[in-house]
Homo-oligomer: A and B are copies of this chain.
Amino acid sequence: MTKTDMNIFDSLESEVRSYCRDFPTVFNKAKGHKLWDENGKEYIDFFSGAGALNYGHNDPKMKEKLIEYIADDGITHSLDKATTAKAEFIQKFNDVILKPRKLDYKMMFPGPTGTNAVESALKLARKVKGRTDIISFTKGFHGMTIGSLSVTGNASKRKGAGVPLNHSVTMPYDSFVDEQDTIPYIERYLEDSGSGVDIPAAMIVETVQGEGGINAASFEWLKKIDELCKKWDILLIVDDIQAGIGRTGTFFSFEQAGIEPDIVCLSKSLSGYGLPFAVTLFRPELDIWSPGEHNGTFRGNNHAFITASAALDYWTDQEFEKSIKKKSEFTLKYLQDIVNKYPELKGTVRGRGLMVGIACENGDVADKVTSECFKRGLVMETAGMDGEVFKLFPAINIDDEALKQGLEIIEESVKSVVKEPVTN
């Protein structure tokens, strides 16, 4: 195979491309937690497609099913016609995920991306409640189409809209204001008819904010948000696109908080294989859609139905969650040790489950760490408004050795950045 000329991207692809700037090589192969580039260099992947590859790359069981399906000329594209592959997914998702968790949700396939799921959730909430406004939270990220962008906090992403973003109000996420509980603020805005904030159709929240900088809301805060929603007749939408599908330790990230959202958005790792796929879940009594009122050409991606069904097998065994938990504890401890050992980093450990990271003093430091990691064969990205958090997203089924190896690379990289570790 001849090697790819990187100039192709420079000359023919838009300046909007980004990750290829951080990881300047041409990748061509992947397996589990490993990536290879055209030079044959191997990388440990602590990036996992920004959360779209929670089970690692090209999982062998899913791969087998997918090849078989394709070879048999299974339906590839079906819009929302009924297909065998779709029926199997629906049934299995209900049996393996919803029922055991006593969740009674209807499924909607809103188009194959996270932002499609968010847009459909907002539409449905507005239709059900007959209200226009949505409450979102500081540093929240929900997607790049205008509806989703309206509930996203990031100023530069918002500016990209080119139009003012309306029909949304941003409330303070847990810990947004130092030493102030944000719940009383939110409650005052709801209860006081002079607050200028109308009762919204819904609140949309991430239990752990990914793009926002690996900010984990406390379970207590999430419970209070849930209570406020119930008290004021507001629908609660959990955007579980990045934090869901096992990333924080359970299938849905909100399980641990003991809440049951009215609407849930899933995408990213839902297909298990990195294929475009999304689902919007909601309580059956909210299902007042007219046929086709929201649609999309790729809402029936059958390849994704096939791999997503296969991926559900991970969740039939209780041991899976336990193993994530174990890996998470190991990782958090390791990161805390790094923070303690290298005080020059001025780091703070953040996150929950395997959605974790270290907030550095600023974005430059975090960038240096990830660059050093990349040189040493570890792919990892940054998050936060200034990119000040380096963010670990290992596959949730990574083997312990590879996890440790990746963490060691991180430590070495931190060390090389801060130069001289304090001995303690």
A76: chain B residues within 8 A (beta carbon): 30, 57-58, 273-275
Given contacts A13-B106, A127-B160, A155-B194, 15 further A-B contacts (CB under 8 A): A4-B84, A12-B91, A16-B294, A18-B292, A25-B82, A28-B84, A30-B75, A49-B79, A57-B77, A58-B73, A70-B70, A76-B275, A115-B296, A154-B193, A169-B169
Contacts A106-B13, A194-B139; A87 near B8 (Cβ below 8 A): yes
Could you tell me if A161 and B27 are in contact, using CB atoms closer than 8 angstroms?
Answer: no
Q: Is A295's CB within 8 Å of the partner chain B?
A: yes
Q: Which residues of B contact A185 (CB under 8 A)?
A: 172, 177, 180, 185
Q: Is A113 an interface residue (CB 8 A)?
A: yes
Number of copies: 4
Query: B28 contacts A52, CB within 8 Å?
Result: no
Which residue of chain B is the closest to A176 with respect to CB atoms? B188
A383 → chain B, closest Cβ, in Å?
10
Query: What is the size category of the interface that chain A forms with chain B?
Result: 35 or more
A289→B159 CA distance, assembly (Å): 12
- A141-168 interface (Cβ within 8 A of B): 143-148, 150, 152-164, 166-168
From DSSP, what is the main secondary structure of chain A's interface residues? loop
Q: Is A72 interfacial (CB-CB < 8 Å)?
A: yes
**Segment touching B, from A116-124, A332-340, A345-353:** A116-124
Which of chain B's residues has its CB closest to A193's CB?
B155
Known A-B contacts A146-B150, A268-B297, A276-B298; A140 and B196 likewise in contact (beta carbons under 8 Å):
yes
Q: How far does the alpha carbon of A164 sit from the alpha carbon of B163 in the complex, in Å?
A: 8
- Are A144 and B296 closer than 8 Å at their CB atoms? yes
